[in-house]
């Protein structure tokens, strides 16, 4: 089917000077906790495995629900197309960095989850960042999970003593994408979700701050990663937020709520979920990196409402890209299936993601005050490249601005 050229398909390896590790963290086992995949610079290792891109079959089921196709039918297709791909990072590899790492909190789009942006997150980690890719519990992810404590009857049946919850007292529960009900207004749902998502990003940051300060943390997941090695590893004066689509809106909401975020990068942001009255309260620099095929005048006009004479707000558009040019799917399908499913645009996906990553790094250096060489890509921030459009390709009517 679409995997006939699988030797050419795969998530591109990170290009920075550091090898990349990744691990999962779940703070408290309930839906109220924070759940994220952490990407970080790591030691050279031959022993660690690279994790599966799709962690388990429930995520295939969630993607099927989101795409409104039959679970049984789609599981085989998804497994055939995507089941063999790995994240370009070493699972639970020991952390290693010669300097304190700036921090990025990443928010996924509608119907996505924590592993689907590994090309972007791993690249940032290879360049010296610690990146937490949050998996949201607002029912906007295709699938996610948490744990609940066993009921008394479940414990009784297993003869488990009724003490405080331990790993064997917990039951894994799955939460799938919530479909808009017939006749339901979309804005109240999405606005409620974007607020929860921003809170989850802030909660992830709070947890990293605790870890950095040496506070012992409880991970509800069984991993081999030693979290104590992250003590004093982060540069907490240099924190940014980033997100794709719904995650772009989440980033803006998070900047409004938390001044520890010094700037934000929005990849093809979907502005609909946001209350416009928050726009004047966002004081940090923002970089909009858009695809050529997704944006429309109403969405761009909301971005332009964040324009400021005193705070840098930049926008570029990558030629030949589609909305799905930012998640990893774009690297994992052959040409015709990729275009049929709108996972690929006209541009080579690696050229597009390189432009996105380099422009992001240049912007982060500028606004986090990094002592790196990312300023070599400063022209990209202004759209100075044959594959970039400064601003937008969307024709704006005066009434929509």
Q: Is 348 a catalytic residue?
A: no
Task: List the 20-27 sheet strands across, edge first.
Answer: 90-91, 20-27, 34-41, 130-134, 101-107, 234-244, 263-267, 286-291, 313-318, 388-390
Burial of 186 (0-12, 13-18, 19+ CB in 10 A): exposed
Distance CA 379, CA 359 (A): 8
Q: Which of 65, 138, 235, 268 is catalytic?
A: 268
Distance CA 89, CA 398 (A): 47
Q: Is the dihedral of CA 193, 196, 198, 200 positive or negative?
A: negative
Q: Is 268 a catalytic residue?
A: yes
Written as one string, the DSSP assignment of 178-221 is PPPPTT--HHHHHHHHHHHHHHHHHHHHHHHHHHHTT----BSS
Q: Which of 323, 328, 367, 385 is catalytic?
A: 323
Q: Which of 34, 107, 233, 245 is catalytic?
A: 245
Looking at residue 43, the DSSP 8-state letter turns out to be -
Q: Is 398 a catalytic residue?
A: no
Closest among 227, 203, 202 to 215, alpha carbons compared: 227
Give the active site residues.
Answer: 245, 268, 323
């Amino acid at each position: 089917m679409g995997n006939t050229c699988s030797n050419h398909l795969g998530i591109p390896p990170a290009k920075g000077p550091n090898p990349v590790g990744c691990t999962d963290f779940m703070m408290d086992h309930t839906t109220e906790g924070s759940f994220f995949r952490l990407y970080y610079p790591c030691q050279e290792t031959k022993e660690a495995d690279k994790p599966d891109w799709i962690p388990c079959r429930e995520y295939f089921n969630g993607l099927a629900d989101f795409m409104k196709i039959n679970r049984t039918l789609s599981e085989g297709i998804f497994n055939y197309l995507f089941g063999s791909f790995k994240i370009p990072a070493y699972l639970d590899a020991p952390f290693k960095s010669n300097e304190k790492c700036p921090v990025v909190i990443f928010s996924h789009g509608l119907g996505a989850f924590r592993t689907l942006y590994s090309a972007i997150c791993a690249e940032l980690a290879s360049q010296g960042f610690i990146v937490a890719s949050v998996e949201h519990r607002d029912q906007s992810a295709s699938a996610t999970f948490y744990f609940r404590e066993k009921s008394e009857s479940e414990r009784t049946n297993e003869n488990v003593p009724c003490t405080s919850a331990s790993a064997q007292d917990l039951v894994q529960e799955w939460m799938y994408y919530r479909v808009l009900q017939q006749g339901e207004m979309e804005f109240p749902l999405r606005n409620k979700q974007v607020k929860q998502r921003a809170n989850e990003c802030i909660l992830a940051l709070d947890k990293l701050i605790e870890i950095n300060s040496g506070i012992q943390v409880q991970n509800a997941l069984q991993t081999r990663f030693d979290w104590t090695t992250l003590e004093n590893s982060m540069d907490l004066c240099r924190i940014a937020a980033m997100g794709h689509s719904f995650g772009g809106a989440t980033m803006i909401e998070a900047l409004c709520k938390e001044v520890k975020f010094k700037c934000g990068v929005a990849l093809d942001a979907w502005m609909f979920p946001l209350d416009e009255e928050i726009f004047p309260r966002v004081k940090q620099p923002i970089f909009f990196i858009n695809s050529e095929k997704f944006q429309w005048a109403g969405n761009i006009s909301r971005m332009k409402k964040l324009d400021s004479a005193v705070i840098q707000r930049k926008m570029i558009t990558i030629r030949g890209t589609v909305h799905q040019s930012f998640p990893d799917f774009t690297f994992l399908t052959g040409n015709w299936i990729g275009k049929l499913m709108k996972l690929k645009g006209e541009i080579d996906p690696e050229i597009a993601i390189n432009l996105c990553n380099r422009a992001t790094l240049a912007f982060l250096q500028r606004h986090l005050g990094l002592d790196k060489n990312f300023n070599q890509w400063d022209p990209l921030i202004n759209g100075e490249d044959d594959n970039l459009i400064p601003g937008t390709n969307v024709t704006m009517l005066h009434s929509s601005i």
